[in-house]
Amino acid sequence: MRHRVAFLRTLITGQDLLLLDEPFGALDAMTKREMHRWLLDLWDDLHKTVLFITHDLEEAILLSDRIYLLPAECNQEVQEIHVNLPRPRHYAMNYDPDFIQLRQDLEQRLYEKTSF
């Protein structure tokens, strides 16, 4: 409930751009899923730009229209990935072949940039 209140507090600022930095990172899996559903239900009514920072690939795909992969090193470029999945979004999409392919692509891009 605290996360919902914090999110609603952000909404009522009236700003056109909302910055959400790992808003669901500390939640357990079930609560996180519930918060995703709640946010997706609100999304159509928001009419705002949301910069959503997350390390969770499925969360990024489910909630985003565009994903920016930030480089680990300064000499690399930011990569922009368009999420061409239909809206409204829902969790059943996690099993859609396009969703799975996009997740694999993101993971591959991340591992290509990481040296072990």
Which tens digits make up the pLDDT trace of 62-103? 999 999 998 777 778 899 999 999 988 888 999 999 999 999
The two tokens of residue 94 are 């996690």
Q: What is the pLDDT of residue 1?
A: 64
Domain ranges (residues) in the chain = 2-113
C-alpha dihedral sign at 41, 42, 45, 48: negative
The whole-number average pLDDT for the span 98-115 is: 86
Least confident of 4-8, 49-53, 85-89, 102-106: 4-8
Q: What is the pLDDT of residue 70?
A: 86
How many other CB atoms are found less than 10 A from the CB of residue 49? Answer: 10
E strand or H helix at 2: helix 2-11
User: Which among 11-25, 35-49, 100-114 has the top mean pLDDT?
Assistant: 100-114
Backbone angles phi, psi at 26, to 5 degrees: -90, 5
| Length of the chain (residues) | 116
Written out in words, the top-level CATH class of the domain with range 2-113 is alpha beta
The two tokens of residue 37 are 């559903």
Share of the chain above pLDDT 90, in %: 35
